[in-house]
């Protein structure tokens, strides 16, 4: 049981961490100082959430894992994040669309988790929900700005949507752990969110004069530990210190 909650926490925690990592790569490279600072704030929120999830997860392990053990010392196939969040910062359009597709899901997830039977998960969700409400405002606003900005920005956004949209399906895919957690009243009901999720996305895209690609095929694998090639490189950086200098305090 404990192990299942642990696994469930990885699913949420890894998404926050890997997306936080991608955003942190942009620190110092944003399109304007103001935007740079804003993206870093989102990254910091996500790392804060990651720590909350991993501290909670660590307490459930028999060998008392620390947040850092969980964050840094797993093999690639043991990370449970969706493929969407590991997609690279190809350009600002990709950054914004990735964020928007994730935030739109994240907010629905957290709203449900605030009612979790697990008090600690509910508490983390409560705190995170405020942060993520802002993230979604931020990313939605930018989707509209860039979608309806110039011809060039419109095209870049449409390209990003075409590329990233097929990664959205995995967010709502229910793994056995998620099914079990849902049935126990601990986890969220992912399939039930589907209508809300896509309604919201399509509405914002429409305002932004963007169109979702016609696709019935969605990429997936991350939640089961089968990742894209990108994750290996992310981990090469993320884990570098812990792997090169094992068992030390930093």
Contact residues for another protein, defined by CB under 8 A: 21, 24-25, 27-38, 40-41, 43-44, 47-48, 50-51, 54, 67-68, 71-72, 91-92, 134, 137-138, 141, 144-146, 148-150, 152-153, 156, 234, 237-238, 240-242, 245, 248-250
**Which residues, other chains included, contact 159 with Cβ-Cβ below 8 Å and sequence gap of 6+?**
93
Instruction: Note whether 99 and 171 are within 8 A (CB).
Output: no
The nearest distance, CB 112 to another protein, in angstroms, is 26
**Beta carbon nearer to another protein, 71 or 84:** 71
> Which residues in 7-41 are b (16+ Cβ under 10 Å) and which e?
bbbbbbbbbbbbbbbbbbebeeebeeeebeebbbe
Minimum separation from the CB atom of position 193 to another protein (A) = 26
The minimum distance between CB 192 and another protein, in angstroms, equals: 31
Between CA 150 and CA 143 the distance in angstroms is: 12
Q: In this complex, which beta carbon is closest to another protein, that of residue 70 or of residue 84? A: 70
How far apart are alpha carbons 234 and 23 in whole angstroms? 12
**Shortest distance (Å) from residue 74 CB to another protein:** 14
Alpha carbon distances (Å) from 169 to 98, 215, 217: 13, 11, 9
Radius of gyration, CA atoms only, the chain: 18
Q: In the complex with another protein, which residue's Cβ is closer, 11 or 171?
A: 11
Cα 79 from Cα 227, distance rounded (Å)? 9
Please identify, using beta-carbon distances, which residue of 97 and 188 lies nearer to another protein: 97
Question: Which residue, 48 or 212, is less far from another protein as judged by CB?
Answer: 48
Task: Tell me how far, at minimum, the Cβ of 224 lies from another protein, in Å.
Answer: 25
Nearer to another protein, 226 or 236 (CB): 236
CB of 134 to another protein, least distance (A): 8
């Amino acid at each position: 049981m404990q192990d299942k909650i642990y696994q469930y926490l990885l699913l949420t925690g890894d998404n926050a961490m890997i997306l936080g990592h991608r955003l942190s790569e942009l620190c110092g490279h944003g399109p304007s100082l103001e935007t740079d600072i804003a993206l870093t704030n989102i990254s910091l929120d996500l790392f804060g959430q990651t720590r909350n999830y991993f501290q909670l997860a660590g307490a459930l392990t028999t060998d008392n894992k620390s947040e850092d053990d969980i964050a840094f010392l797993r093999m690639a196939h043991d990370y449970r994040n969706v493929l969407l969040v590991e997609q690279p910062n190809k350009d600002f359009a990709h950054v914004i669309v990735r964020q928007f597709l994730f935030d739109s899901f994240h907010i629905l997830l957290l709203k449900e988790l605030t009612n979790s039977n697990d008090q600690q998960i509910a508490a983390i969700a409560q705190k995170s929900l405020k942060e993520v409400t802002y993230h979604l405002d931020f990313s939605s606003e930018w989707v509209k700005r860039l979608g309806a900005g110039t011809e060039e920005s419109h095209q870049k956004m449409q390209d990003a949507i075409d590329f990233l949209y097929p990664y959205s399906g995995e967010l709502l895919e229910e793994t056995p752990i998620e099914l079990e957690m849902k049935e126990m009243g601990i986890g969220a009901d992912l399939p039930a969110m589907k209508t809300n999720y896509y309604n919201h996305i399509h509405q914002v895209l429409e305002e932004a004069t963007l169109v979702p690609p016609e696709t019935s095929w969605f990429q997936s694998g991350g939640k089961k530990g089968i990742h894209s090639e990108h994750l290996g490189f992310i981990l090469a950086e993320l884990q570098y210190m812990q792997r090169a200098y094992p068992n030390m305090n930093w």
